Amino acid sequence: MSDSDSLIPKHGGYRNLKSFQIGQLVYDVTVRFCDRYIEKRSRTHDQMVQAARSGVQNIAEGSQASGTSKKFEIKLTNVARASLEELRLDYEDFLRQRGLPKLEPDHPVLRRFKAKRCASLDEVRGWVVEERGRHTDEQGRTRTNTDLPQAGSVPVGDSPCRAVCLSLQPPSSPCLPESALVTNAALSLLNLCCYLLDRQVAAQAAAFEKDGGFTERLYRIRCQTRKKP
């Protein structure tokens, strides 16, 4: 019996979805980001973490539920998309409220980030270290802001040395504080994940329109069974 003829078709497999993989990376980056840059007692901290988690969990739940409810799959995938849109706005607010730049998709910094194709939090952190290393003065001292603390401390915002750092850099090559680097990297990942989820929802809707859901499949299979001698 083919998958289209079975009562409960193959479902799950969400770990192989690119949207899930990127969403999971966004979640890991967001947890780390919030612990370092957002006051832990603030609502923003919890809301950003929960929005990132909701994106991942709803992709998985929708994939698993697709065996018996295509309608529920579409709904949950759309919930994941909405949660990540909320998270994207929070990251944009972080930049705007602190006067930090939101980089265009074709900015050299983001082009280098995309070329890395980071698949883990450690790889994102490695990219940040590389970007910081690009900005050094004649004495070999880092021009990049050192607002990213060591593990265990929980500062909020950017270091005062950011102004000095920016003054050392030529206008064409601004020195971004690490919080801005991480935020723009997270936004780049979110843009890709939201794009994939938009396509995923569209594909699920088209499949539902063509083949129907569990009820229609159940009816077809029962009719076929009754016709058999």
| Angle, CA of 149, 57 and 14, to the nearest 5° | 110
Token output for 74: 């579409």
Name the helix (H) or strand (E) containing 65. helix 43-65
Question: Hey, what are 219's tokens?
Answer: 């009816």
CA 161 to CA 142: how far, in whole Å? 11
Contacts of 165 (CB under 8 A, 6+ apart): 135, 143, 144, 145, 175, 177
pLDDT of residue 33: 98
Spell out the alpha helix ranges (H) of 98-160.
Answer: 108-116, 121-133
| pLDDT for the residue numbered 12 | 55
Full pLDDT tens readout for the chain, 229 residues: 445 556 555 655 899 999 999 999 999 999 999 999 999 999 999 999 999 999 999 999 998 887 677 888 899 999 999 999 999 999 999 999 999 999 999 999 999 999 999 999 999 999 999 998 886 543 355 444 444 444 444 445 555 444 434 433 434 445 789 999 999 999 999 999 999 999 999 998 888 677 655 566 555 655 666 667 6
**Lookup result for tokens 């569209």:** 202
Look at residue 70 in the predicted model and tell me its pLDDT: 83
Query: Which residue ranges make up each domain of the chain?
Result: 14-227
Phi, psi of 100 (to 5 degrees): -95, 150
For residue 204, give Cα distances in angstroms to 52, 70, 108: 22, 8, 35
